[in-house]
A and B are shown apart, each in its own frame.
Chain A
Amino acid sequence: MMPELLAQFAQMALVLLLAPLLTGFVRKVKARLLRRRGASLLQPYRDLLRLLRKEVVLAENASWLFRAAPYLIFAATWVAAALVPTFATGLLYSWTADLIAIIALLGSARFLLALAGMDIGTSFGGIGSSREVMIASLAEPAMLLVAFTVALVAGSTQLSTVADFMNSPDVGLRVSLGMALVALVMVAIAENARIPVDNPATHLELTMVHEAMVLEYSGRHLAMIEFASFLKLLLYMSLIACLFTPWGLAPPDAGPAAFAIGAAAWFGKLAVAGTLLALFETAIAKMRVFRVPEFLGAALMLGLLAVLLKFVSRSL
């Protein structure tokens, strides 16, 4: 019981510790690609600390929901991130929630964030929330269809079981998994407010989605929300890694050596995924808001096609 509990807590602490680093890494690579020197890898930690120490400036008509939402968003995202296998499968509480529940947990966080954006009653908050739910209304079903596909391939919605299955030799190359991977990457880009769907660095009001919702936040509240979005990026990258590149994941009853290998493999995967994201973001321009439905509609159709293939044939 004890070592398993420790492994579970280690994962919870690790995702928390690594999430800002991953964002810092992506920013650094992007800056280097633009031939800038870029801020230090540790800058996100410094930003978080700076925000945490500042006082909160609340809008005059902010309600309790506005103040409670950052902590709940952070908590829901953290729990979701802690349930995705990162360096090991079959952690103590891995059966608490399967992939569908993890998607729904992220949905809860988004629901609260969209409400918080509307609490002050400013037009920018409304524009952000309205666009966010439009994007989510296409991204979430696409994500669920991806979940269906991997669940049909692996015969389980439990991420640990799926990862174990994907690690086994009987997976092979499958068309449906390829489609699911493409769809999942598109969803991940949209859900993390990355280019071309949204621009995490923008402060041009009319193009903002995520930033518009959190415009009224300051101090520790903003820190919590920023932290949650760092965690979300880490979660999606770990999820893609555990579903499609589960190599090196430690099995349930492994020793410290296997855990170390798993952790090293995880760091490597995150580095590769972060570099790819930075490359992609540098090479592409942001699209207009009403092009986003086409982008996500493609993800939805890919997901649907992948599920359909699984229904039609077991081997595809």
Chain B
Amino acid sequence: MIPGIVLLLAGVAVLLATALPGIALGGRAAGRRLVYGITLVVCAAMSATALAHLLEPAAAPATAWLPLGLPWQGAHFRLDALSAYFAFVIGLGGAAASLFALGYGRHESEPKRVLPFYPLFLAGMNLVVLADDAFSFLLSWEFMSLSSWALVMAHHQERDNARAGYVYLVMASFGTLALLLAFGLLAAAGGDYTFDGMRATAHAPAGAFLVLVLVLLGAGSKAGIVPLHAWLPLAHPAAPSHVSALMSGVMTKVAVYGFIRVVFELLGEPQWWSGFLVLLAGGATAVLGVLYALMQHDLKRLLAYHTVENIGIIFIGLGLALAFDANGLPAAAALALTAALFHVFNHSVFKSLLFFGAGAVLAATGERDMERLGGLIHRMPKTAFAFLIGCGAISALPPLNGFVSEWLTFQAILQSPELPQWALKIMVPAVGGMLALSAALAAACFVKAFGISFLGRPRSDAARDARDTDGFSLSAMFALAALCLAAGILPGFVIDALAPAMQALLGERMPLQVGVNWLSIVPVAAGRSSYNGWLVFAFIALSASLAVVVTHRFASRARRRAPAWDCGTPDPDPATQYTAGSFAQPIRRVFGTWIFAAREQVEMPPPGSTAPARHAGVVRDLLWDWLYAPVAGAVSFAAEKLNVLQFLTIRRYLSLVFLALVTLLLVLAIWP
């Protein structure tokens, strides 16, 4: 039997090789089918391999070494429970995206710019979770960033896409720089760049603090932690929709993996303040992400902002796990980490589903702006149904999967009065409130997203003439929708599958769920809390069917179609409907007045004038104004000042060189 790590590396090699037919046959339909067909099969196989490794009882971590990279070091790879879990998520997301793209790729205007990079992007993500030394990790990380950047730039001639690509490139470089420094600090203690060497050495608190901050900046900027999220809602929607799904659903999870790998494993014993920092970042990210999303009218950008929110939820779980682990409460830490990792899976499934739906809408109507959609439930009933399931799952509605991971996170929060530190005692309830708030706002946001795009009457000709999408796309969406339901009604299996990763990272796991009566989940003890997804599902299904049967059998089944009532004054003009902007107005007014400096400007013409009155809602991104704009200003200011250096005489250059040499020698002489 071939070990899993070898199979996965072989899969990566096949993916890398698939770029060649992508280049050669990029313009033809056969090339599209070939590339997406290969990636579908390979990703499905890799996902299955990783799952088999994860489920295998007492599987030891498998390692591999390849003579690539640095000559004296080579490239180390390792497959343990954590990387197997993430490889499973990547494989699943990749397979679904490839299946979707088999149909969706037909609408691609620039296939030559997409097909070569798509398999490379998949290979890069897989390599990150398999890497076992700092060099291979950073190289794969950068490979993943650059290949996804190329995909973001596929439609570089469209408005705003070039800027999105530029911001993404800057932020990705910044993130890699932070990670590079973090690994430098980690390796400094032992002088070894392999992860094994880093695991073996102890790290001083000051160094550990720096590493934590650097990883939070590096992995956090890739994942979309506020305030490093600025690139994400620009870049994710700019890519073709199946790539958007991969970037939002899967690549952010690779960043989460990087964070877990470094902070939970390489850094050794955590300190309580690391939990505090991560909780702060997670809570702020969750609430701000969903509030930003509520202000968006672009369907894909709304979804991208929701990724920010969900990353916040995941980091809340990670922060709780760190806080518990630092205080010697491994059982509670296992619960919190399980919640976070469960949410990783859930988010990758429903976010991919939602991006596929948005892609199908985009292909059918050519519109991403919700203000020009509407009534699609009639034109695209199947897409609408799958999208609705995704909306319910991301809004954490039972019996779907999003609810289970949020429920587990809430259960973890309820364990935390045990924590001794005062800062955590005050932080955790506040974060609990933020999590509750973001869950409620997410539901509001997806009522808006689904209600404006799919319900009501069409707001444009394109929306009125839309047709449902092709079979490949639909089967990808329905497969993910089925997973949303399956993971929601049978969550115990997912929790048990995660147990080996908990055992490896924390030395403790959640109680075994498979044996619990009626397949309930019991995170701590039966008297404390339990939830049974499939019974809730069955009860709702039974009572709803009962209600239908009773009313139709014993009361009335008559039905008549008539014009809408609308209090007696129906207006045939679809412009009289609520728009996305008007739907969000109350929430904008309640939450947005100080977060977004939201204002409503009314311009009334003077009496007697026939000029139109104008009403405009103004929303500003204060983070951008206060953080990014000053930094960008400082950089261009410095560049302008340093510009003088380009026009010096040779004499001055030589004296500068001399001065630099003297300074460096002085530093060396004084250095202890």
Contacts and interface: CB of A to CB of B under 8 A. Distances in A.
Interface of A: 52-65, 71-72, 74-76, 78-79, 82, 93, 95-98, 100-101, 104-105, 107-108, 110-111, 114-115, 118-127, 129-131, 133-134, 136-141, 144-145, 148, 151-152, 155-158, 161, 205, 215-216, 219-220, 223-224, 289-290, 293, 300, 303-304, 307-308, 310-312, 314
Interface string B553-572: 00110111111111100110
Contacts of B536: 79, 96-97, 101, 105
Interface stretch (B111-119, B388-396, B661-669): B388-396
A111 B447 contact: yes
B436 A130 contact: no
Nearest to B388: A65
Contact of B451 (A53, A129, A303): A129
A136 B443 contact: yes
B437 A137 contact: yes
A contact face: mostly helix, strand, loop, or mixed: helix
B450 interface: yes
A118 B564 contact: no
Given A96-B535, A219-B558, 11 more contacts: A55-B558, A63-B455, A75-B544, A78-B543, A101-B403, A104-B403, A121-B574, A152-B414, A219-B556, A308-B426, A311-B416
B452 A118 contact: yes
Contacts of B646: none
B428 A311 contact: yes
Given A63-B455, A111-B392, A124-B566, A71 B544 contact: yes
Q: Point out which of B396, B450, B565 has the most chain A C-beta atoms below 10 A from its C-beta.
A: B565
A74 B532 contact: no
Nearest to B555: A52
Contacts of B526: 95
A141 B440 contact: yes
11 contacts: A60-B561, A65-B388, A93-B539, A95-B530, A96-B535, A104-B403, A114-B451, A130-B582, A134-B587, A152-B414, A157-B529
A123 B455 contact: no
B561 A100 contact: no
A72 B399 CA distance: 12
B528 interface: yes
A56 B562 CA distance: 10
B559 A148 contact: no
Q: Point out which of A57, A98, A127, A134 has the most chain B C-beta atoms below 10 A from its C-beta.
A: A134
B contact face: mostly helix, strand, loop, or mixed: helix
B563 A60 contact: yes
B586 A100 contact: no
B547 A224 contact: yes
Contacts of A215: 565-567
A277 to B, nearest CB: 24
B613 to A, nearest CB: 18
Given A141-B433, A304-B433, A59 B451 contact: no
Contacts of A308: 426, 429-430
B527 interface: yes
A222 to B, nearest CB: 11
A115 B585 CA distance: 17
A101 B436 contact: no
A176 to B, nearest CB: 11
Contacts of A141: 433, 436-437, 439-440
Contacts of B570: 122
B578 interface: yes
B583 interface: yes
Given A60-B561, A100-B410, A216-B564, A152 B396 contact: no
Contacts of B377: 63-65, 119
A252 to B, nearest CB: 12
Contacts of A125: 578
A66 B455 CA distance: 10
A205 B395 CA distance: 29
B403 A122 contact: no
Given A311-B428, A311-B429, A137 B440 contact: yes
Contacts of A79: 536, 539-540, 543
B556 A123 contact: no
A311 B465 CA distance: 57
Q: Which 7 residue pairs are nearest across A and B when measured between Cβ atoms?
A: A126-B578, A121-B456, A55-B558, A118-B451, A141-B436, A133-B444, A75-B544
Contacts of A58: 559-562
A98 B451 contact: no
Nearest to A221: B551
A61 B457 contact: yes
B531 A121 contact: no
A57 B526 CA distance: 48
Contact of B456 (A101, A111, A120, A290): A120
Contacts of B530: 95-96, 98, 158
Given A220-B551, A311-B425, A121 B583 contact: no
B31 to A, nearest CB: 39
B602 to A, nearest CB: 16
B392 A220 contact: no
A14 B426 CA distance: 42
Interface string B423-435: 0011011101100
Q: Point out which of B437, B544, B560, B561 has the most chain A C-beta atoms below 10 A from its C-beta.
A: B544
A61 B378 contact: yes
B589 interface: yes
Nearest to A105: B398
Interface in B310-333: none
A92 to B, nearest CB: 10
Nearest to B444: A133
A117 B526 CA distance: 39
Contact of A115 (B374, B375, B451, B558): B451
Q: Point out which of B542, B563, B583 has the most chain A C-beta atoms below 10 A from its C-beta.
A: B583
Contacts of B556: 52-56, 219-220
A144 B560 contact: no
